[in-house]
Amino acid sequence: MPPSKKKKRNGKSTKVVTAKSLMKKGGWASLLASGCKHGCPDLPPRDHPVYTFLNLFEDEIKKSSIEESLSWKVPMFLMASFSSHSILWNNNESNEYMNMALAILRAVGTQLILRGYEAVEKNIAYGIMLLEKRIEQRVQWSIDGTQPSTGKQIEQAGHVVRKLVDGSSRDMLRFYSKRIPCSCLDEKYKEAKKSQNKVGVCHGCHKTVERESLRVCSRCKMCFFCSQFCFEEYWPMHKEACDSMYLKKKDGSW
């Protein structure tokens, strides 16, 4: 896949740039070097746990952008990071490191949208959702002693990100505009609400349909289908991934 190409949208050419071509010129820091920081703090030192995590996360995004079929490796990396980066995910009751990583990811995703780059910010959104759910459940844990469920976090994050992956730019603009303190995306989001419907993609026939007509797989809770017919037709291909996600949640390995 070439570093960049032209893509037709509504009769106009839109630049599509992969994360590999974008981030090889300086990574996260290059995106936030000038202009509005969208609530992002100064980047931590290179030996800081948050910097280490984001650097490895960036590498995964680069890999996934080379070939579309590798995009599933981004959430897989994030799942593995619960243990490999435990100092980030479980550092203290104030969630200082996770909040720092969140602020940086939100700002980077916003900046990518403003520059017209596509796809990359969807993988970043998955990281944002998992961090948010982790903080939410850690707060609840401190209140009532309920142990955070990694599987539940992944499932909840997956529901939101599924809308972003299969939906229109309206969904992505809404996601980021709600999470930054500035108004940098307000105008774009306002325009998108007027011109775009809420849509999703069936994992069976791959048709884009009105989102309210989609139904989620009752077993894995991650994939959506437009009808029972599509679910049954697609089941042989969906079964392996569905079994894997279901069993991991059931035995607590997530």
64 and 187, same domain (yes or no): yes
Structural tokens at position 101:
């990583």
190 and 203, same domain (yes or no): no
pLDDT per position as a tens digit, 78-118: 767 767 788 877 766 678 888 998 999 999 889 888 887 75
118 and 74, same domain (yes or no): yes
127 and 213, same domain (yes or no): no
pLDDT of residue 27: 65
191 and 254, same domain (yes or no): no
Task: Find out whether 177 and 206 touch, Cβ atoms under 8 Å.
Answer: no
239 and 179, same domain (yes or no): no
Cα separation of 108 and 64, whole Å? Answer: 17
pLDDT of residue 156: 67
162 and 50, same domain (yes or no): yes
Structural tokens at position 37:
């920081």
89 and 25, same domain (yes or no): yes
pLDDT of residue 212: 83
Question: How many domains is the chain built from?
Answer: 2
Return the HEC string of the chain: CCCEEEEEECCEEEEEECHHHHHCCCHHHHHCCCCCCCCCCCCCCCCCHHHHHHHHHHHHHHHHHHCHHHCCHHHHHHHHHHHHCHHHHCCCCCCHHHHHHHHHHHHHHHHHHHCCCCCHHHHHHHHHHHHHHHHHHHHHHHHHCCCCCHHHHHHHHHHHHHHHHHCCHHHHHHHHHCCCCCCCCHHHHHHHHHHCCCEEECCCCCCEEEHHHCEECCCCCCCEECCHHHHHHHHHHHHHHHHHHHHHHHHCCC
Host domain of residue 165: 4-196
99 and 139, same domain (yes or no): yes
pLDDT of residue 42: 83
Instruction: Kindly give the parts of the chain with pLDDT less than 70.
Output: 1-28, 62-76, 79, 82, 91-93, 118-120, 139-159, 161, 165, 248-254
119 and 191, same domain (yes or no): yes
First CA to last CA across the chain, in angstroms?
A: 33
114 and 169, same domain (yes or no): yes
